[in-house]
Structure 1
């Protein structure tokens, strides 16, 4: 069995620079709470989106377990558009309602899911019986979960918190269990 802990990043300050957007003060407080969730767990490897807020969210876990954070570009959040969208909520609903649809310069759900799943499959193959932490983002996390089970959809995404932690247990590439381990 491979156990994947998806750790959605904690609250961050908004900047247009996706790669360097840092955690907010509340985000750092929550990061410390997330770290405590993993104190008594055995963790074999940590991967993350390269975005600063994701790396910062799992940094305490890495320090606690004396592990490096392996950043992988294909684990970054989905690109919704190359420009500003007038209504983020409407735009997100549209891409979730039409998985092949993409705004100009953005990724459809199908494209973003394929990008992330290809990487996730490689991670699972590299760690067939390990416990893995993956620092991630809301949309891309749910798209990866949806690959294994269609119930992980727009409504599920809307119910996420920031941060959020979901434990997925897989036998090879078959999902056998999902548990939300974060309590807000």
Structure 2
């Protein structure tokens, strides 16, 4: 039975120190409308999201379109990089990809974050077989999940993501069959 997950990396957000409550920027809202329009023809059954406001706001248009509540799934939250802000974000993420077991103080290693994300994805696949599910999430955790199913999705792939970005993953049971980028 084929199940389709549409991973939606959140749109651009306005920076605030409140990581959980950071909202979309005006550009982010416009891009979220574009994402909604692109998903209207995909026969979506369910919408899930990270608990972060920007991820929820990016997918709330499609949830409204299909008349569904957004189900919050902690497993799709962004990875905790470190307890304190890092000096060079890209360099810090690169180090985590180079050594998947390494973690900064108070942060998650790639292995830890990936397990959390994959557990959530497997739960979705087992709970909604044969359905089309939109998941509002974040770039880093999205690529870690994709990497579990296919190693070509790595640090370089993450670096090339747009904001927002949508990837359609088609599964047969728990086996990834196809990945297609939905927007460019």
Per-residue displacement from partner, 1:109-167 (whole Å, max 9, x unpaired)? 00000011111111100111000000010000000000100000000000000000000
1:84-163 paired onto structure 2 within 5 Å: 84-163=85-164
Tell me how far apart the structure 2 counterparts of residues 104 and 9 of structure 1 sit (CA, whole Å).
26
1:1-184 paired onto structure 2 within 5 Å: 1-183=2-184
Q: TM-score, normalised by structure 2?
A: 0.98
Q: Measure how far apart 1:102 and its partner are.
A: 0.3
Partner SS state of residue 95, structure 2: helix
Q: TM-score, normalised by structure 1?
A: 0.98
Between Structure 1 and Structure 2, how many residues are aligned?
183
Tell me how far apart the structure 2 counterparts of residues 170 and 72 of structure 1 sit (CA, whole Å).
20
Tell me how far apart the structure 2 counterparts of residues 42 and 160 of structure 1 sit (CA, whole Å).
25
Tell me how far apart the structure 1 counterparts of residues 16 and 63 of structure 2 sit (CA, whole Å).
25
| Over 2 Å off, 4+ runs | none
Q: Measure how far apart 1:90 and its partner are.
A: 0.8
CA RMSD after TM alignment: 0.6
Partner SS state of residue 153, structure 2: coil
Per-residue displacement from partner, 1:1-44 (whole Å, max 9, x unpaired)? 00000000000011221110000000000000000001222111
Partner SS state of residue 170, structure 1: strand
